Amino acid sequence: MRFLYLLLLSLIIQTAAQAQATAPRPDSVQAKTAVAVMAFGGTALPEAEAAFLSDRFMLELQKFDVYNVLERQRMQDILREQGFQQTGACDETSCLVEAGRLLPVEKMIGGSVGKVGDVYSAQVRLIDLKTGKLETTVCRDYPGAINFLLTTGMRESAEELVGRIEPQTRDQKIPLSSETQAMVKQLIETQHKMAEVQYENQSKSELGGMAWSLFLPGAGHFYAKKGDVGAGFATVRCLTFIGWVSGSEEGLKKFMGYAFVCSWAADILAAPYSVSLYNKDLKSKLGLSLRCDPRDRSLSVALGTNF
């Protein structure tokens, strides 16, 4: 009986030992790939801004906890101890491979940020040090201010690198940040106010058009920059007036008098319409057709200007 107890106890101890030996270690279950992030190169951007953007990218990458990211200061210390020398930004594949093989990492991340026109661009590359080949490339473009590249661009670049979001397509609509939206709205409002001031200074009065035509044939239409219409009314009024004054036959003279009065009245009544057409064309010229339609955290603006 005692022998059976000892045998059972030995089997329990042996089973527990085997279970402990075969149990996966916590650090081997979710082993993360070690990577280092080199400072980004800058095109049309100061070196300090490019370095700050790369630091922000590294922080955003660490948030996803996909890679074991080597701290920047430790990376620089190791490269300095190994005698690594570089001139300018290390954003080429060959430079990244050379630096990465001196570090305790498996992959290297480098890239560049730049500005072309009013578009800021971020290009990030992931290099496999074992093969020395380019593994993943991320390219994202952001129109507007550089703060949008900092706050959104670096986060989305890190998200795309770890596979959280799809690559940016050419026809993808990029929402504007709240700061950029406020700046665009302020610019539109300023331009709109300037156009309104110009309109007030250059617009014509319909009553003024009637007054001009009351005293001078076709003058109200010339006042409204409608010279062809004004010339037509002036010609008709002058001819009917001459026929009325110098007519020899009583019937013809009476007819020309009625025609003169009618052309005079038509000239006066049509002048406000010519003025309204002039003001309408002026509004279109000054770009006073404005639509600001914020939706889905984006800003859609239509502003026509043609000075």
Catalogue all structural domains in the chain, each as residue range(s) with its CATH number.
30-171 (3.40.50.10070), 175-307 (no CATH)
pTM: 0.50
Identity at 213, one-letter amino acid code:
S
Phi, psi of 91 (to 5 degrees): -120, 0
Q: For residue 99, how many other CB atoms are within 10 A of its CB? A: 23
Per residue in 89-102, pLDDT (tens digit) is: 788 888 999 999 99
67-69/107-116 β-pairing: unpaired
| Assigned token pair, 42 | 């800058």
Average pLDDT value for residue range 110-130: 92
Locus of tokens 């578009």: 119
Q: For residue 116, how many other CB atoms are within 10 A of its CB? A: 10
SS3 33: strand
Q: Find out whether 53 and 102 touch, Cβ atoms under 8 Å.
A: no
Phi, psi of 84 (to 5 degrees): -70, 130
| Assigned token pair, 18 | 């085997």
Average pLDDT value for residue range 139-160: 89
Name beta bridge partners: 299. Answer: 294
Q: Find out whether 105 and 37 touch, Cβ atoms under 8 Å.
A: no
Report the residue count for the chain: 307
**Most confident by average pLDDT, 28-37, 224-233, 251-260:** 224-233
Query: How much is the pLDDT for 291?
Result: 44
Determine what percent of the chain is predicted with pLDDT higher than 90: 31
Per residue in 122-136, pLDDT (tens digit) is: 999 999 999 999 999
Phi, psi of 133 (to 5 degrees): -110, 160
Collect all residues with Cβ–Cβ distance below 8 Å to 141 and sequence separation of at least 6. 119, 120, 121, 122, 168, 174
Locus of tokens 């010279």: 227
Candidates 99, 97, 98, 105; CA nearest to 32 is: 105
Helices (H), the chain: 2-22, 26-29, 47-63, 72-81, 93-100, 146-148, 154-161, 178-202, 206-215, 219-223, 227-246, 250-286
Element (H, E) at 143: strand 133-143
CA 14 to chain centre: 67
Query: How much is the pLDDT for 127?
Result: 95
Per residue in 35-53, pLDDT (tens digit) is: 999 999 988 888 889 989 9
What gap in Å lies between CA 81 and CA 102, rounded to an integer? Answer: 10
